[in-house]
Amino acid sequence: MDLYELLFNSAANASESSNSAIPWYKKAKAVCKSYSAKTRGQYGVHHKVYLILLKGVDGEKPGYALYVGQTGLTPEERFQRHKNGVQCSDVVRKHGKHLLPDLYKHLNPMSYEESKKLEADIFQALLKAGVPVHGGH
């Protein structure tokens, strides 16, 4: 069961509209799965693209959104740095809830150059698809 199903089920169990969980998650997953990394798994590459679920963004409830980033660390280490305020994005420090490996694990690892490009490309594709998104620099 992936994160969307967990959130969907918890919303349904709370007698909320099934659309109120994360209505754009399946669209975001399709966008991310449409990308691949040409340098994935090549010798010496270690950069990664990662996506984080944000909650309470812009004061909205539940206010779910995504953050797209890239790192030379593991996504878990990078997420902890955001949460600890080390070289962080304020939106992740304040609103970051979970990494979403279902959206990025098929891409990693890759070269630095490709991680920078995919971070920006995925950000733009999510934006174009109507998914609320932050990061992507």
| Pairing assessment for the beta strands 65-71 and 133-135 based on DSSP bridges | parallel
First to last CA, the chain: 31
**For position 62, what pLDDT does the model report?**
80
**For position 6, what pLDDT does the model report?**
57
pTM score: 0.86
**For position 17, what pLDDT does the model report?**
39
Boundaries of every domain in the chain: 37-135
**For position 61, what pLDDT does the model report?**
75
Q: Which helix (H) or strand (E) covers residue 13, if one does?
A: helix 3-13
**For position 40, what pLDDT does the model report?**
96
Which amino acid, 97? K
**For position 14, what pLDDT does the model report?**
45
Cα-flanking dihedrals φ and ψ of residue 43, to 5°?
A: -55, 130
Q: What is the DSSP letter of 47?
A: B
**For position 18, what pLDDT does the model report?**
38
Low-confidence ranges of the chain (pLDDT < 50): 1, 11-19
Give the HSE-up count for residue 115: Cα atoms under 13 Å, Cβ half-sphere. 24
